[in-house]
């Protein structure tokens, strides 16, 4: 398999995005990093430049859908093209619906689904022009089956993202453009802070599993593969009384 040398990662200033950037930089890849927090991006880029082949950074709020293609275009120009785009920027806000906190749920869907759609549009415009590329959508195990209470909107946003990926996989089957959907379970990051579960894995282990899954370029990959592959399969069929206790 050809090495994807020029990689764009959104949500790169912290969490899984930062972790992936560090792993790919250590392999000598060229990186285009985007996130809302410019100071953190610049600090990360300074750390990565000695090992990465090249690093470009751009400030980006993915809910600014008009800015997304402009930023992607500048980052692609800075690297001379893009071989892989990892749509990672995400939000975990949420509250039970009908409790007066609609703004948090709407913001989550705007970031995780509408923002991801804008990123996929921008990435695929570049890939179509190149006639090559790997689009990675970072979904979630929570998108396999609707979750209750504060997770409802988040779950719905990730289910939509997974469906988007499946549609694109059908469209680009047997083409030089590859689309992967990766679905992390509980990995220790800011988005999972406060969650108490025996299924949580430490950040480094989770990032290693995520990078491995992305490099494999499968259509669908729960992360880490164990125990989330069997759990994801079970979630589709288990009675609700059982499934709601798993995630």
> Catalytic positions, please?
154
Tokens describing residue 12 = 């790169």
Burial of 202 (0-12, 13-18, 19+ CB in 10 A): exposed
Tokens describing residue 52 = 């990465």
Run of H or E residues at 57: strand 54-59
Strand bridging mode 6-10 / 30-35: parallel
162 vs 168: CA distance, rounded Å: 10
Q: Between 203-216 and 15-26, two packed helices, what is the crossing angle to 10 degrees? A: 60
How many Cβ atoms are within 10 Å of 242's Cβ, its own excluded? 11
182 vs 127: CA distance, rounded Å: 19
């Amino acid at each position: 398999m050809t090495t994807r040398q020029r990689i764009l990662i959104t949500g790169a200033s912290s969490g899984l995005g930062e972790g992936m950037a560090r792993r790919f930089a250590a392999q000598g890849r060229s990186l285009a990093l985007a996130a809302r927090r410019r100071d953190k991006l610049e600090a990360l880029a300074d750390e990565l430049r000695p090992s990465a082949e090249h690093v470009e950074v751009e400030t980006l709020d993915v809910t600014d859908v008009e800015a997304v293609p402009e930023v992607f275009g500048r980052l692609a120009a800075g690297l001379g093209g893009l071989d892989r785009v990892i749509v990672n920027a995400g939000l975990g806000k949420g509250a039970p619906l009908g409790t007066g906190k609609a703004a948090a749920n709407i913001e989550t869907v705007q970031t995780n689904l509408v923002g991801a759609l804008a990123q996929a549009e921008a990435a695929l415009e570049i890939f179509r022009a190149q006639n090559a590329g790997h689009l990675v959508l970072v979904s979630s195990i929570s998108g396999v089956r609707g979750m209750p209470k504060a997770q409802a909107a988040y779950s719905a946003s990730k289910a939509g993202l997974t469906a988007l990926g499946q549609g694109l996989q059908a469209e680009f089957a047997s083409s030089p453009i590859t689309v992967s959907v990766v679905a992390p379970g509980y990995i220790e990051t800011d988005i999972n802070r406060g969650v108490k579960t025996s299924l949580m894995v430490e950040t480094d282990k989770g990032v290693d599993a995520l990078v491995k899954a992305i490099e494999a370029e499968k259509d669908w990959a729960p992360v880490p593969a164990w125990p989330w592959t069997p759990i994801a399969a079970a979630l589709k069929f288990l009675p609700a009384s059982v499934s709601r206790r798993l995630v």
